Amino acid sequence: MSSKLAALNDWVASVAKLTQPDAIHWCDGSDAENAKLTELMLSTGDLVKLNEQTHPNCYLHRSSPSDVARVEHLTFVCTSKQEDAGPNNHWMAPAEAHAKIDALYAGCMRGRTMYVVPYCMGPIDSPLARCGVEITDSPYVVANMRIMTRMGAAAQARIEREGSFVKGLHSIGQLDPERRFIMHFPEELTIKSFGSGYGGNALLGKKCHALRIASYQARTEGWLAEHMLIVGIENPKGETHYVAAAFPSACGKTNLAMLIPPEGYRRDGWKVWTVGDDICWMRPGADGRMYAINPEAGYFGVAPGTSAKTNPNALAMLYKDAIFTNVGVTADNQPWWEGLPEGTPAKDWQGRPYDKAVSPAAHPNSRFTVSAKNCPSYTAKAEDPQGVPLSAIVFGGRRESLVPLVFEARDWTHGVLVGASMASETTAAATGAVGVVRRDSMAMKPFAGYNFADYFAHWLSFDKPGAQLPKIFHVNWFRKNDQGKFMWPGFGDNLRVLEWMLKRVTGQAGAIETPVGNLPKPSDLNTDGLGLDAATLEQLLTIDRAGWKAEMESIGEYLDSYGERTPHVLKAERAKIAAQLA
């Protein structure tokens, strides 16, 4: 099989010449093809079949212990000018990067099959969707791409119709951490990944295409590619408002995307619909509103901590048709991870007899891959070619002090500053130290495919006459009291905060104006049945002026770190807030 598109055939031929595979397989995404690949991986040990009675059609994959997370220090953005990549990215000159990685690719697929994987990010017939082709020597990658994207014949047909696609080349190589690179060439719409089989490094549709390359595409084409969930909130009147939200990892992003309303809200008829849990592509529609699609078709979620208590909808997805990576297993071959109340692990994520003193049962960044349609809160709107209209955009981070439970940006410019300056404490999803506070603008620090200063300017550019932009908010579910206990219950109760936001959108709630933003009056938050005392609520909704003065200084230094290109209007906005605080 080959393609009707000469450019695609030529590229596949040139990759085959470089990598020298034993065979080439063009993927059509069919059930028969998937069954064959699964059989192959079971025979090689790449997959282990899980308990068919409790978890039908579920499999476990164990990756190399040195290949368990994204590797930000080995991830490069290769633009012809270094300043276009910006200080937020590691840069390498394109010619040097191609030469370095192509030397690793030389002959790397000998003895292996080369898979050609055409895929579409977004509903197959959506004008907002964009296509790509990943060439890989990993059947595990093919199986995951089938779940995570619209992969196969329909995507190939669209690529042949449009004549353009993002090129992604991936090889697991020898899984050697010393011979590992993830290179992005935004100007060429090309990705090259070598030496890793881990999802974020190997499923090139995910962070590589849907964020790093797409953010560059979006800037040139007038849209936004963002690291955001998309959730629909339906009120008792049957009106649904869609919200996009950006959080760094381990800040409850998937939990918010699949939120289950508290009991009182459920009784009153509130419903929550999941459009996406990780990536949002949005663009202004003809009516001036911002419309969003989830470019992904599945979830690549973190397993540890996922339970009936924290995220019942996520857990409910995982009993059939799922691939687990680096979790533990029980004696009867059920998947197990820390946070599950029942079951006892017999083997850890490396397949060794489980010993708590040696290793957790599941790697802290162990994952599940599952179709979005498995989610109990899935909405067919996720397949709407036009996308869903956004009423609000929410930024958030994990801050133990200073940042209130929720505040609203005064306008779009202030909202862009709020997103640009958001900060959080680091987690296990990226290699490096855990628990350090770092600024992570729009949760895009590891994912923006170009200079952050230009990215902020691109965000600001949407505020033009006729635009009906979403309101922007900031949340912090993670405030702690003097005893180190969380002050806000979080999880489903976060709907109480979203309710106030949507009342602000529709003009049904007031706010207290502060230099930092607009805060709810304590009486405007529904706290029925929470057992939250007035003093705690007041603490969650107060502005510590001295603390915020220091924060504004720090934000000023952060903006300055992007140099001359940083939009002056953003600096002026920061200065205005600093002056009001003083």
Q: Which residue has the tokens 């009486």?
A: 523
Cβ atoms of 284 and 270 closer than 8 Å: no
Give backbone dihedrals phi and psi of 406, rounded to 5 degrees, phi first: -155, 145
Instruction: Please give the structure tokens belonging to residue 288.
Output: 């001036």
End-to-end CA gap in the chain: 69
Q: If we measure between CA atoms, which residue out of 490, 552, 486 comes closest to residue 517?
A: 552
Give backbone dihedrals phi and psi of 96, rounded to 5 degrees, phi first: -65, -40
Non-local (6+) Cβ contacts of 11 within 8 A are 133, 167
Give the C-alpha distances (Å, rounded to integers) separating 208 from 135, 250, 408: 14, 20, 31
Query: Is domain 226-296+380-581 annotated with CATH 3.40.605.10?
Result: no
Per the annotation, binding residues for GTP are: 250-255, 367, 398, 491-494
Alpha carbons within 13 A on the beta-carbon side of 387: 28
Residue ranges of the chain with per-residue pLDDT less than 50 = none
Per the annotation, binding residues for Mn(2+) are: 207, 227, 278
Give dist(CA 376, CA 407) in Å, integer.
Answer: 30
Give the C-alpha distances (Å, rounded to integers) separating 423 from 111, 249, 255, 403: 46, 12, 19, 10
| Radius of gyration for the alpha carbons in the chain, expressed in angstroms and rounded | 23
Give dist(CA 367, CA 361) in Å, integer.
Answer: 13
Cβ atoms of 117 and 169 closer than 8 Å: no
Non-local (6+) Cβ contacts of 209 within 8 A are 121, 130, 132, 166, 168, 191
- pLDDT tens-digit profile of 162-195? 999 999 999 999 999 999 999 999 999 999 999 9
Give dist(CA 335, CA 192) in Å, integer.
Answer: 32
Cβ atoms of 562 and 454 closer than 8 Å: no
Ordered by start, the domain boundaries in the chain are: 6-46+68-222, 226-296+380-581, 298-374
- Strands 113-121 and 23-26, bridge-based pairing: parallel
Burial, 82: exposed, middle or buried (Cβ in 10 Å; 0-12, 13-18, 19+)? middle
Q: Which pLDDT score, from 0 to 100, does residue 248 have?
A: 87
Q: Which helix (H) or strand (E) holds 117?
A: strand 113-121
In the DSSP assignment, the letter for residue 210 is: I
Alpha carbons within 13 A on the beta-carbon side of 14: 9
Which alpha helices (H) appear in 452-567, and where do they start and end? 452-460, 495-505, 534-540, 545-560
| CATH code of the region 6-46+68-222 | 3.40.449.10
Specify the 3-state DSSP secondary structure of 191. strand
Alpha carbons within 13 A on the beta-carbon side of 447: 31
Per the annotation, binding residues are: 70, 198-200, 207, 227, 249-255, 278, 365-367, 398, 491-494
In the DSSP assignment, the letter for residue 524 is: G
Question: Model's pTM, two decimal places?
Answer: 0.96
Per the annotation, binding residues for substrate are: 70, 198-200, 249, 365-367
Q: What is the mean pLDDT of the chain?
A: 96
Type of residue found at 83: E
CATH topology of domain 298-374: Phosphoenolpyruvate Carboxykinase; domain 2 (2.170.8)
DSSP string, 128-168: T-EEEEEEES-HHHHHHHHHHSEESHHHHHHHHHH---EEE
Task: Give me the torsion for CA of 124, 254, 394, 522, rounded to 10°.
Answer: 150
Q: Which pLDDT score, from 0 to 100, does residue 438 have?
A: 85
Q: Which long-range contacts (CB under 8 A, 24 or more apart) does 412-416 make?
A: 412/460, 412/462, 412/463, 412/469, 412/472, 413/460, 413/463, 413/569, 413/570, 413/573, 414/472, 414/517, 414/573, 414/577, 415/471, 415/472, 416/456, 416/459, 416/460, 416/472, 416/570
For the annotated catalytic residues, the residue numbers are 251
Cβ atoms of 182 and 190 closer than 8 Å: no
- pLDDT tens-digit profile of 311-357? 999 999 999 999 999 999 999 999 999 999 999 999 999 999 999 99
Cβ atoms of 543 and 514 closer than 8 Å: yes
Which alpha helices (H) appear in 411-488, and where do they start and end? 412-420, 452-460
